[in-house]
């Protein structure tokens, strides 16, 4: 099986990191005040974010399309989560080696909700694993996604 790592060009990487600044700020605010209001701000900022998810695309052939393998981490109880980062600097804080060699897959709000729905054994994703980690449960993320989609349908 041939593996192809998707490279993000520097322009797209810079744009993703810029879009992710509000997520980093919201997580910092949450660390000072762990209120539901700050969780809501994180969710809202994620709707416009493009997280950097370490992973590898695997070409499966014309009939099967492309499969993606994401890096998985486990919480203290052993539950698996996808690792996601707001910047290369945040990835380097977790793994300096991976920051140099790992391919990133840019994942927006909609795609992350789809990925979580397709992988029910995954507990969610952990943003910025090492410095101010924020664990976003799949259930909460998917609920926020569907609520947003319903609001958008109501506006049409």
| 40-55: pLDDT as tens digits | 999 999 999 999 988 7
Q: Is the whole-model pTM more than 0.95? A: no
For the segment 85-103, the average pLDDT, to the nearest whole number, is 78
Residue 106 pLDDT greater than 80, yes or no: yes
pLDDT at 133: 92
Q: How many CB atoms lie within 10 A of CB 84?
A: 29
Q: How far is CA 16 from CA 8, 52, 80, 116, in A?
A: 10, 8, 25, 20
Please answer whether residues 53 and 83 qualify as being in contact, where contact means their C-beta atoms are separated by less than 8 angstroms.
yes
Q: How far is residue 54's CA from residue 91's CA, in Å, rounded to a whole number? A: 9
In the numeric block, which tokens belong to residue 7? 């490279």
For the segment 100-106, the average pLDDT, to the nearest whole number, is 74
Q: How far is residue 100's CA from residue 134's CA, in Å, rounded to a whole number? A: 23
The ranges assigned to domains in the chain are 3-155
């Amino acid at each position: 099986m041939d593996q192809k790592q998707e490279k993000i060009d520097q322009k797209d990487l810079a744009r993703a990191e810029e879009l992710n600044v509000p997520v980093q700020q919201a997580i910092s605010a949450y660390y000072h005040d762990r209120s539901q209001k700050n969780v809501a701000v994180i969710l809202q900022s994620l709707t416009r974010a493009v997280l950097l998810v370490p992973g590898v695309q695997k070409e499966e052939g014309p009939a099967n399309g492309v499969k993606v393998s994401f890096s998985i981490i486990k919480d203290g109880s052993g539950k698996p989560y996808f690792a996601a980062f707001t910047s290369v600097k945040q990835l380097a804080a977790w793994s300096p080696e991976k920051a140099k060699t790992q391919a990133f897959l840019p994942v927006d709000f909609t795609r992350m909700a789809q990925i979580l729905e397709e992988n029910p054994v995954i507990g969610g994703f952990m943003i910025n694993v090492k410095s101010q980690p924020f664990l976003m449960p799949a259930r909460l993320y998917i609920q926020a996604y569907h609520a947003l989609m319903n609001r958008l349908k109501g506006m049409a």
